[in-house]
Structure 1
Amino acid sequence: MGTALVTGASAGLGRAFATELASRGHDLVLVARNRSRLEELSTELQREYAVTTEILTADLADRDQTERVAERLRDLERPVDLLVNNAGFGLRRSFSKGDLADEEHALAVMVRAVLVLSHAASGTMRARGRGAILNVSSMASFAVMGTYSAIKSWVTVFSEALSVELAGTGVTVTAVCPGFVRTEFHDRAKMNMSALPDQLWLETDQVVLEALRAVDAGAAVSVPSATYKAVAAALRVVPRGLTRRVSTQLAQRRRTTAP
């Protein structure tokens, strides 16, 4: 089944991707900052699925540490067949009032690392004539929700552009754009999500399975669930000014209901 490298593998969607891929017989390269969590996951996957696992502890905000992961992707003797660029986090504070260092950190993890690792993987995969890259984007990439939307918009468009470039090479690129997923993501960002209707929540397994189906189909963009597919379709056709107005109203509502 080959080898998959998953960033942000220690929790949330990354852990779910690693578990599902192991259940399908993929060997895993697990990447995250928290070594103890990676070791726990590694042991679990080896025990449950008899796969080979490798741990790479790396902070993808650090260029040198990101390069170590890129070097693993370039290793011709130990090819990686699927790269899952999943590492990321939420940004709750406004850009104008927030800390610029936080914004730069977000760009490093969710833009630069995706760029660097995709470059490493696509070059090696193209030379072999096969492989896949899965970039975890967001429904926010179709909306206007602060710099997080800008970051995820880059991920989605970058994935589409690279998919076009690699067409016919045997290498596919997919951006998965989930809505709200039940993970640690919002708690870590200190976001109060108590008012969100249950029908807007997605489970990690649902996102992972739809994303991997899209990879198998060679789709450039995947939006999990019928609800979010409808929302994404609407956001693509409504006037951009209307999208900004609705986003402004939602932002004002979040500010008045925030704890």
Structure 2
Amino acid sequence: MTPLEQVLVLLAGLGSGILTSTVGVASLLSFPVLVAVGLPPVVANASNTVGLTPGAISGSFGYRSELRENPRVTAIVLATCAVGSVVGAVLLLALPASVFEGVIPWLILGTCLLVGIQPTLSARLRARRGDDATMRMHVSPVTGLFATITGVYGGYFGAGSGVMMLAVLGLGTDLPFRVANALKTLAVLAANLVASIIFVVAADIDWRAVVLLAAGSVVGGYVGARIGRRLPASLLRAGIVVAGIVGAVLLWR
């Protein structure tokens, strides 16, 4: 990489770290940059996952107060996404890169739209259960299953996995949006961390790209958490929907 390309990768890491902690579509920024500077797609994907893990760590640290509010849910999200990401990472190394190219944009588009209409859907579900229904502050087996599937996708490719987790938590629980957003960042961390261990052992990685991404994302992740905590839920939700739609369109091209 030329000096200019290295600066671009560093800035992509910074921007992706912010996106990890806010709208959850970080890889849609960093992965194309890695490919543009000459990395093969699979090498770029593995390097991107490893390089963005520090950003997810700093972002989760920035949301530590929200994560402490529901420790059992936090533990379940961490475990399900970690287990799922093992499957996803293995699929990335074992299957042709073209396998999921057709379905990924639809997954991102569908889940970001679910995030947008989730308040309406949740209100109807609460009305159907009755006004005296207990708030769902736990993860049901069905919600846990979908969280695991989100972890599989996070280990395989990851772009939009945070949006998917928000949709899963938004429909499967009644957690406050700020807490769900914090859990989304933790889910990205779990998937990235486990997949990174597998990639370091079994995949080709461009360590220069990893270091540059990591340096940018660790700052961006913490800054993004500060931003995400202060933004109104409606504004953050709108940003997630817009980012998801843009990402899906870009992946169709």
Bigger relative contact order, structure 1 or 2 (CA pairs below 8 A, ≥6 apart): 2
TM-score by length of 1: 0.31
TM-score by length of 2: 0.31
Higher radius of gyration, 1 or 2: 1
Name the one with the larger strand percent.
1
Name the one with the larger helix percent.
2
